[in-house]
Amino acid sequence: MSKLPHIGTSIFSVMTQMANHHNAINLSQGFPNFPIDEQLVTIVARKASENVHQYQPSSGNLQLLQKIANLISTSYGRTINPETEILVTAGATQGIFTAIQALVSRHEEVIILDPCYDAYETPVILTGAKPIHVELNDDFSPNWSAIGNAVHANTRMIIINNPHNPSGKIWIEADFVALENLLDKHPNLLVLSDEVYEYITFEQPHISVHQREKLRQRSISVSSFGKSFHITGWKVGYIVAPEDFLLEIKKVHQFLVFSVNSLSQAVLSDYLDIVNLAELRRFYQQKRDFFRELLQRTPFELLPCEGSYFQVASFAHLSAESDLDFTKRLVTDFGVAAIPVSAFYADGKDLGRIRFCFAKDNETLIRAAKQLERL
């Protein structure tokens, strides 16, 4: 008997297969199609000839742990102990799975805010806990009264994602105050903060749980080098948590992967000395502006994009089709693949919106927009 009978092929695979079949431009899956930083390529070549090919300490390469602590100190002004508060993971996904497995028990509840990335619910179900889906407002801001009503003594965790996939929404100060008030009321509640797009934000600065004194002791933050450095295929990320939680998380990590790919860790450790994160932000801001400008010539209504590399567009005024049917028609008739936003809701809520990924070279974005102009 399947433990996960409801899990089929993901919408990301479905759309990518359709895109390949119809030779369409694939703006569905969230990965960049441009080359990685040349400096990173050089470091890979240099490091590959060094003695970096054996198992690393389970928590991570010691130099890399120190560099991550430095990064958090420069980015957020938080001092963390690299030996006891950081764990290098095989991408953010493994960090999320491991943290849930280690900290949530059978029959406890976990709040998931919809629409959301698809990696949250399954680890909750596999621990025997219960996912409780609470919808964000239609502008993708958190609905604090609905969240407050959903949390009670048996709620162990709330998973937040800021900047947000699929919408690019960024939480504001008031959201963090509301979250802190919730934690005050519920002493058993932990925060799993998925911040994989932390370095891809535009006009508004990203607020991290690292910057909130009250949240630091109750939060597990999740980061992804894959997202930050255009190397999604490397699958390296890290989590930061208070020592007592991290001890439990490390127990699960030890038997899941033991330690993460050694070459990648050695390379990332050197790369963190030279990477320019402000440049990364500028790069994506230009991409966002460029893509939005191109889409102005199409009939879509564009929702705000405050961070991440996703742009949500509404077609509700153009067609009464479901967003899935509309997205399929975009592939077959217009040669462009996107993701229907209903796929990110547990109940399939359909507001006539689709998500494009603009982490693509300009030529791809221009070709896609030209095809969409025919709409």
Ligand X SMILES: Cc1ncc(COP(=O)(O)O)c(C=O)c1O
Q: Which of 32, 60, 82, 91 binds ligand X (CB under 6 A)?
A: 91
Q: Which of 15, 18, 64, 92 binds ligand X (CB under 6 A)?
A: 92
- Cis amide leading into 163 (omega within 30): yes
Binding to ligand X by residue 101, rule CB under 6 A? Answer: no
CB of 341 to ligand X, least distance (A): 14
Binding to ligand X by residue 30, rule CB under 6 A? Answer: yes
Binding to ligand X by residue 307, rule CB under 6 A? Answer: no
Binding to ligand X by residue 32, rule CB under 6 A? Answer: no
CB of 338 to ligand X, least distance (A): 15
Q: Which of 188, 232, 322, 371 binds ligand X (CB under 6 A)?
A: 232
Three-state DSSP class for residue 160:
strand
**Number of other CB atoms surrounding residue 227 within 10 Å:** 25
Which residue number, 31 or 316, has a Cβ lying nearer to ligand X? Answer: 31
What is the gyration radius of the CA atoms in the chain, in angstroms? Answer: 20
Binding to ligand X by residue 109, rule CB under 6 A? Answer: no
Q: Which helix (H) or strand (E) holds 113?
A: strand 109-114
CB of 368 to ligand X, least distance (A): 19
Span near ligand X by CB under 6 A; candidates 231-239, 258-266, 275-283, 347-355: 231-239
Q: Kindly state the tokens that stand for 375.
A: 């709409």
Binding to ligand X by residue 224, rule CB under 6 A? Answer: yes
Binding to ligand X by residue 264, rule CB under 6 A? Answer: no
Binding to ligand X by residue 115, rule CB under 6 A? Answer: no
Binding to ligand X by residue 322, rule CB under 6 A? Answer: no
Which residue number, 226 or 335, has a Cβ lying nearer to ligand X? Answer: 226
Distance of CA 36 to the CA centre of its chain: 19
Residue 242, exposed/middle/buried by CB under 10 A (0-12, 13-18, 19+)?
Answer: middle
Which residue number, 235 or 288, has a Cβ lying nearer to ligand X? Answer: 235
Which residue number, 119 or 268, has a Cβ lying nearer to ligand X? Answer: 119
**DSSP one-letter string for 261-317:** -HHHHHHHHHHTTT--HHHHHHHHHHHHHHHHHHHTTSSPEEPP--BSSEEEEE-TT
Which residue number, 186 or 236, has a Cβ lying nearer to ligand X? Answer: 236
CB of 226 to ligand X, least distance (A): 4
Binding to ligand X by residue 194, rule CB under 6 A? Answer: yes
314 strand-pairing partners: 301, 353
Span near ligand X by CB under 6 A; candidates 89-97, 203-211, 277-285, 323-331: 89-97
CB of 130 to ligand X, least distance (A): 21
Q: Kindly state the tokens that stand for 2.
A: 């399947």
| 3-class SS string, 201-267 | ECCCCCCCHHHCHHHHCCEEEEEEHHHHCCCHHHCCEEEECCHHHHHHHHHHHHHHCCCCCHHHHHH
Helices first, then strands: H and E counts in the chain: 14, 13
**Number of other CB atoms surrounding residue 27 within 10 Å:** 29
Q: Which helix (H) or strand (E) holds 89?
A: strand 86-89
Contact yes or no for 222/192 (Cβ under 8 A):
yes
How far CA 297 is from CA of 159, 218, 293, 361, in Å, comes to 37, 46, 8, 19
Which residue number, 120 or 245, has a Cβ lying nearer to ligand X? Answer: 120
CB of 288 to ligand X, least distance (A): 16
Which residue number, 307 or 335, has a Cβ lying nearer to ligand X? Answer: 307
Binding to ligand X by residue 60, rule CB under 6 A? Answer: no
Which residue number, 193 or 298, has a Cβ lying nearer to ligand X? Answer: 193
CB of 318 to ligand X, least distance (A): 27
The site for ligand X (CB under 6 A) is made up of 30, 91-93, 117, 119, 161, 165, 194, 196, 224, 226, 232, 235, 237
